[in-house]
């Protein structure tokens, strides 16, 4: 009986050590704060703010939206997918990095052409008082732990800039169902 109990406690200890080791390398994707990351502008003397969320309506009928994100966790994030949700429409988004190392910035971008349901929904969301969310699904270093960061954005008075309202960071199971929920409230209002 003592040998069985010893085997059980050893497996429990190994599981606990594995969980703590994986947590030590967990990626966490959040927004990029305004004014913290600046780079020289290519077009004028004012530096570009890498934390700015931009959208523009191009002459060729394409709406372009870019949302910068950064990995504040100690481990790299291996991007699985990204999309934008506005009102009731969802659209796949592109990201400029498939791996986001710790302390690195990546940019999620979406382009919609006219006339689509997503374009109409996104145009409504981008008007003052509108809201939308950008979701990024990613894996940790082991490739077995799955996470989602959902960045909730709102357009206030300036229709060309959005503000981050809050961020949900979830741990998911192998089918991407949420197992652990957490909310990060940003100071960016």
Please give the C-alpha separations between residue 86 and each of 38, 48, 120, in angstroms, as whole numbers: 29, 27, 9
State the CB neighbour count (10 A cutoff) for residue 64. Answer: 13
The model's pTM: 0.76
| Residue 80 to residue 99: CA distance in whole angstroms | 9
Q: Which domains does the chain have, with CATH numbers?
A: 26-184 (2.60.40.1230)
Q: What was the pLDDT predicted at 189?
A: 45
Residues 6+ apart with CB under 8 A from 150: 133, 134, 135, 167, 168, 169, 170
Q: What was the pLDDT predicted at 50?
A: 78
Instruction: Give backbone dihedrals phi and psi of 80, rounded to 5 degrees, phi first.
Output: -100, -40
Q: What was the pLDDT predicted at 41?
A: 65
Instruction: Tell me the pLDDT of the chain (189 aa) as tens digits.
Output: 555 455 556 776 776 776 666 667 789 888 888 777 777 766 666 667 777 787 777 777 777 788 888 999 999 999 998 887 875 556 677 888 899 999 998 888 877 765 667 677 777 777 777 788 888 899 998 888 899 998 888 877 665 667 788 888 999 998 888 888 888 766 554
| Residue 161 to residue 154: CA distance in whole angstroms | 9
């Amino acid at each position: 009986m003592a040998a069985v109990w010893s085997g059980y406690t050893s497996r429990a200890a190994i599981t606990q050590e594995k969980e703590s080791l994986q947590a030590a390398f967990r990626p966490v994707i959040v927004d990029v704060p305004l004014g913290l990351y600046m780079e020289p502008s290519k077009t004028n003397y004012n530096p570009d703010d890498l934390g700015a969320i931009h959208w523009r309506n191009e002459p060729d009928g394409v709406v372009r939206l870019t949302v910068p994100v950064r990995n504040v966790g100690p481990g790299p994030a291996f991007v699985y997918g990204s999309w934008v949700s506005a009102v009731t429409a969802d659209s796949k988004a592109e990201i400029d990095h498939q791996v986001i190392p710790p302390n690195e910035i990546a940019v999620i971008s979406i382009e919609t052409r006219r006339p689509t349901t997503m374009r109409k929904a996104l145009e409504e969301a981008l008007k003052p008082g509108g809201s939308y969310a950008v979701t990024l699904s990613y894996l940790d270093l082991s490739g077995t732990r799955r996470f989602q960061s959902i960045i909730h954005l709102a357009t206030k008075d300036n229709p060309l800039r959005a503000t981050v309202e809050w961020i949900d960071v979830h741990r998911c199971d192998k089918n991407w169902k949420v197992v652990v929920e957490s909310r990060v409230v940003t100071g960016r209002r």
